[in-house]
Amino acid sequence: MKRLALLVLLAAVACATAPPSPKAVDEQTRNAIKGLTEAVAKQPANMPWIYVLATYHAKAGDTAEVVRWLTRLDELGWDHGVSPIEFGGIDSRAFRAIAAKLEAREPRASNARVSFTMNGQRDLVPEGIAYDPVDDVFYVSGIYRRKVLRVTRAGRTSDFVAEGQDGMLGGLGVKVDAKRRLLWVISSTTKEMRGYVEGQEASMLAAYDLRDGRLVKKIDAGPAKLNDLALLDDGSLFATDMGRHKVVRLAAGGEALEEWADGFSWPNGIAVSDDQRHLYVADFRGVTRLDLVDKTKESVGKGMLSGIDGLSFHRGTLIGIQNSVGKPRVVRIHLADGRVEVLETKNAAFELPTTGAIAGSDYWFIANPGLRSFEGSTIWPREKLEEPVMLRIALQETPLPES
């Protein structure tokens, strides 16, 4: 979830603690610029940090500094494009020239096709997606509406978890345990959820019976920032905790989360290999593979993999949505050789896609969740929002070794 990741990134880098107000926002931006400038001075080739620094100069309205740092990205070979929303207030001949140069370098990949539109769900702000192979349906969590929908392949929707049911907060990661007929749901407080109250931070993990919607288990995680989860065949699960930069574990049949691994930088997407040997965790720096026996770590993938949100394992590859720096894109990491393949980018329908799900040989994800449809913590009028559009990418079936 990009917006949450950048908020905590700003807080950590800039150490801004003032309460929100127009004056405090200015102070926050200045602090962020100061902290990021110092960080880039120590790592002058760190392209993600440079890109984020340029976005904060855009917030400050400093066109010259925006152009300076985008030019530096060009010198470093940046090929992730420039988000028009993040630089929407900047307009000069020099800016248009460097932005066009960076846009021209970004590769074009068009493999996604529209499957359906989720009619009547303009203000859902969908986030997590899970597929149930038994009933051949999807489950989609909603951040703003604090619910979980059951969605057919034809796009027909119905409430599976009603708004606010069982203390439901902003709906984030969801996973189907097809064997035990359970749906696991993470929900956490986010500024984009309806009814958000600053300072009342909370997070929870819940399991629902897929046959009748009954709540089976609920685990309160306190002020943690649980975000996404991966499920193992034995019924145990792992979840990313963005607030504490950790991965936590729930044992099969367990009643409490336990810390399992740390040392991450705002961990987000998470997936487990088909052979149950490795866990993959995406954070702001890239993707890490952890051995599930001895917890040893190693980075995977070649190139810049910063800021991947949703992460799925598929036949020796990882499918992820990279949305925190530059323009959003869907990528596939071939684990045998580290090659990174861009599956979808420069899609006109994209409005901050976040996560997806594998269904058979296809990857399904929502193009336009609506996370940019906020002014502060207030969502736009409903008539200004778009209906969520579900896209599908056909994946090659050729199996590849994991390593």
Residue 402 located in a structural domain: no
Residue 140 located in a structural domain: yes
Provide the pLDDT for residue 396: 76
Do 95 and 131 sit in the same domain of this protein?
no
Residue 8 located in a structural domain: yes
Do 268 and 119 sit in the same domain of this protein?
yes
CA neighbor of 335 nearest in space, from 273, 251, 387, 247: 273
CA distances from residue 315 to 127, 290, 333 in whole angstroms, order as listed: 24, 18, 11
Residue 153 located in a structural domain: yes
Please state, in angstroms and rounded to a whole number, the distance separating the CA atoms of residues 177 and 231.
Answer: 7
The distance of Cα 246 from the centroid of its chain, to the nearest Å, equals 16
Do 193 and 76 sit in the same domain of this protein?
no
Phi and psi (nearest 5°) for 375? -115, 100
Token output for 112: 């996604």
Do 297 and 372 sit in the same domain of this protein?
yes
Provide the pLDDT for residue 83: 86
Last residue of a domain, one of 106, 135, 153: 106
Provide the pLDDT for residue 382: 82
- What does each of the 403 residues of the chain score in pLDDT, given as a tens digit? 544 444 345 434 433 333 333 333 478 888 999 999 999 999 999 999 999 999 999 989 999 999 999 999 999 999 999 988 889 889 999 999 999 999 999 999 999 999 999 999 999 999 999 999 999 999 999 999 999 999 999 999 999 999 999 999 999 999 999 999 999 999 999 999 999 998 889 999 999 999 999 999 999 998 889 999 999 999 999 999 998 999 999 999 999 999 999 999 999 999 999 999 999 999 999 999 999 999 999 999 998 999 999 999 999 999 999 998 899 999 999 999 999 999 999 999 999 999 999 999 999 999 999 988 887 678 888 888 899 999 999 997 554 455 4
Provide the pLDDT for residue 169: 97
Any residues with CB less than 8 A from the CB of 396 and at least 6 apart, and which?
A: 361
Provide the pLDDT for residue 14: 39
Please state, in angstroms and rounded to a whole number, the distance separating the CA atoms of residues 239 and 173.
Answer: 9
Provide the pLDDT for residue 85: 81
Do 232 and 358 sit in the same domain of this protein?
yes
Do 34 and 144 sit in the same domain of this protein?
no
Do 180 and 306 sit in the same domain of this protein?
yes
Tokens 């993707």, located at residue: 287
Looking at residue 379, its amino acid is I
Do 71 and 121 sit in the same domain of this protein?
no
The distance of Cα 77 from the centroid of its chain, to the nearest Å, equals 25
Last residue of a domain, one of 106, 134, 167: 106
Provide the pLDDT for residue 1: 57
Q: What is the CATH number of the domain that holds 32?
A: 1.25.40
Residue 403 located in a structural domain: no
Q: Show the domain range for 279.
A: 110-394
CA neighbor of 5 nearest in space, from 309, 293, 223, 280: 309
**Cβ density class 208-224: b for 16+ within 10 Å, e for less:** bebeeeeeeeeeebeeb
Q: Using a CB cutoff of 8 Å and minimum separation of 24, what contacts does 200-203 make?
A: 201/225, 202/169, 203/169, 203/243
Residue 246 located in a structural domain: yes
Please state, in angstroms and rounded to a whole number, the distance separating the CA atoms of residues 98 and 327.
Answer: 15
Last residue of a domain, one of 78, 106, 134: 106
Q: What is the CATH number of the domain that holds 220?
A: 2.120.10.30
Do 102 and 206 sit in the same domain of this protein?
no
Total of domains in the chain:
2
SS3 track for the chain: CHHHHHHHHHHHHHCCCCCCCHHHHHHHHHHHHHHHHHHHHHCCCCHHHHHHHHHHHHHCCCHHHHHHHHHHHHHHCCCCCCCCCCCCCCCCHHHHHHHHHHHHHCCCEECEEEEEECCCCCCCCEEEEEEECCCCEEEEEECCCCEEEEECCCCCEEEEECCCHHHCCEEEEEEEECCCCEEEEEEECCCCCCCCCCCCCCEEEEEEECCCCCEEEEEECCCCCEEEEEECCCCCEEEEECCCCEEEEECCCCCCCEEEECCCCCCCCEEECCCCCEEEEECCCCEEEEECCCCCEEEECCCCCCCEEEEEEECCEEEEEECCCCCCEEEEEECCCCCEEEEEECCCCCCCCCCEEEECCEEEEECCCCCCCEECCEECCHHHCCCCEEEEEECCCCCCCCC
Do 280 and 376 sit in the same domain of this protein?
yes
Torsion of CA 129, 134, 136, 139, to 10 degrees: -20
Do 85 and 176 sit in the same domain of this protein?
no
Do 30 and 166 sit in the same domain of this protein?
no
Phi and psi (nearest 5°) for 371? -65, -20
Please state, in angstroms and rounded to a whole number, the distance separating the CA atoms of residues 73 and 335.
Answer: 27
Looking at residue 1, its amino acid is M
Residue 189 located in a structural domain: yes
Provide the pLDDT for residue 397: 57
Provide the pLDDT for residue 389: 97
